[in-house]
Structure 1
Amino acid sequence: MLPWTAFSLALSLRLALARSGAERGPRASAPQGDLLFLLDSSASVSHYEFSRVREFVGQLVGLLPLGPGALRASLVHVGSRPYTEFPFGQHSSGEAVQDAIRAAAQRMGDTNTGLALAYAKEQLFAEVAGARPGVPKVLVWVTDGGSSDPVGPPMQELKDLGVTVFIVSTGRGNLLELSAAASAPPEKYLHFVDVDDLHIIAQELR
């Protein structure tokens, strides 16, 4: 089942990020979009697991057309307090984004995902915070499946802004809660995968 999971995530992510390119017509050379990676950086994740997740995100970013006027990436840590590793637009190339991801250190603390989601809405996805109007907005939440605070209400607020939510869970988690948090249908936007198999998802994007 894992190869199909990887394929469906890869295809769905590409379609979500390419949507604006199709809307702009056949002359558009590259899709536009704002892609935010939300990583569980809390103490509930081992250093080994965090390193594998970080590697996965770096591989994924390396396969996407990032750059000025195209896709932008941001990375936010989930911990006791949310922490922005880099905001949208800070890095102008995929290589620079990959370097920043490799340098990201685990924050530890509690798993306050709801707080991080509210932070993402106010500090990153809002137009007053620099988000680009009229381009697809995508959140990829990589989690071990648990959160210390409620996720539902702040996640719904992001969806109301038009954010497409992908969830990659490396733990069992609560299926009902994660299904509700992901965009619909959950079989397209929610994926359970062992942390040692995350690289397969990135490989399917090639």
Structure 2
Amino acid sequence: MFARTALQLALWLHVALEQSLPKKGLQPFIPDSEGDLLFLLDSSGSVSYYEFSRVKEFIRGLLRPFTFGPSDVQTSIIHISTVPTIEFPFDRYLSSGAVQQAIRDMQQLMGDTNTGKALSFAKEKFFTDEAGARAEVPKVLVWVTDGFSTDAISQPMQLLKDMGVTVFIISTGRGNYLELSAAASQPPEKHLYFVDVDDLPIITKELRDAIIGTMHWPAWGEPFQLAMPLWGGGMGERQPVPQFSLGP
């Protein structure tokens, strides 16, 4: 009788301990984070197919633990190419599984590396309610680049930061440190990463923690004001934008 009771107690303790330990390969979902997270992804011809696929895996790993929904995190992707192109708007996918599948299915566009146009598009169009963005939530931009752009980035990037957007930059090429450090939010040592495309997983946790810190409500300051769009049109998937001048 005593032996049976002792065995049952031992089995119960073993099961309880096993359930209390984190499962290998599983990541806990992240609660209490709310914000709109936009990826500016170099989809141009200067990036190889292999590099593009590695960046896709990096983004999937970065996003995997987040909880998605209208009261949580929403994410979207703009392709940097000859013309900036939407992969999906913020409110298209509201579950982790749907986001993961959408990124897995994403195709490289090739073309020119017109980052400045993509940044201007992000400012004038993509942080609006038309694109599924929300008023008064933190705004985070993650720009993944090989360090090369065929047009100017400083003015449109500064305008985004002036709107309250926190900018993280990941350069998988050499890039211009002075230009990229000025483009990233300050201080650059917390917002700018230089890393080989094969080593992207090394920065995943650090970048994710930084994004969470930006999106966590107690750490966030003034509410974000949505900009009015400068042109009309629907928000179809992979929707090219009109041409416009980047001049003052």
Question: When the two structures are superposed, what TM-score results if normalisation uses the length of structure 2?
Answer: 0.69
* Corresponding residue to 1:63 among 59, 65, 68: 65
Cα separation, 2, equivalents of 1:126 and 1:67: 17
Partner of 1:30: 32
Does the 8 A contact of 1:30 with 1:65 survive in 2? no
Alignment partner, residue 192 of structure 2: 190
C-alpha distance in 2 between matches for 1:95 and 1:194: 27
User: Does the CA-based 8 Å contact 2:43-2:80 persist in structure 1?
Assistant: yes
Taking the aligned partners of 1:109 and 1:78, their CA distance within structure 2 comes to 9
Distance 1:47 1:171 in 2: 15
Q: Which residue number in structure 1 is paired with residue 51 of structure 2? A: 49
Partner residue in 2 for 1:95? 97
- Larger fraction in helix: 1
DSSP 3-state at the match of 1:132: coil
- Whether contact under 8 Å (1:81, 1:116) holds in the other structure is yes
Give 1:63 shift.
2.0
Greater Rg over alpha carbons, structure: 2
Matched, 1:82 2:84: yes
- SS of 1:191's equivalent in the other structure is strand
- Rounded Cα–Cα distance in structure 2 between residues aligned with 1:107 and 1:74: 16
Ranges in structure 1 where 5+ consecutive residues have no aligned partner:
1-17, 19-28
Q: Which residue in the other structure is 2:115 paired with?
A: 113
Identify which of 168, 171, 174 aligns with 1:166.
168
5+ residue gaps, structure 2, are 1-29, 210-248
Amino acid at match of 2:109: R
Question: Cα gap change, 1:129/1:65 in structure 2, threshold over 3 Å: closer, same or farther?
Answer: closer
SS of match in other structure, 1:122: helix
How many residues align? The count is 179
C-alpha distance in 1, partners of 2:131/2:68? 20
Percent of aligned pairs with the same amino acid: 61
Structure 2 contact 89–131 (Cα < 8 Å) conserved:
no
Measure the CA separation in 2 of the matches of 1:49 and 1:90: 26
Equivalent of 1:132, from 131, 134, 143?
A: 134
C-alpha change, 1:65 and 1:129, in structure 2 (3 Å) is closer
Quote the Cα distance in structure 2 between the aligned partners of 1:30 and 1:156. Answer: 29
Runs of 4+ in 1 over 6 A off after TM superposition: none
AA at the equivalent of 1:71: V
What code does the residue aligned with 2:144 have?
V
- Tell me the distance in 1 between the aligned counterparts of 2:154 and 2:76: 22
Q: Is the 8 A contact 2:90 2:131 kept in 1?
A: no
**Cα deviation per residue 1:143-163 (whole Å; 9 max; x = unaligned)?**
000100000000011111100
The alpha carbon displacement at 1:129 in A equals 4.4
- Aligned twin of 2:224: none
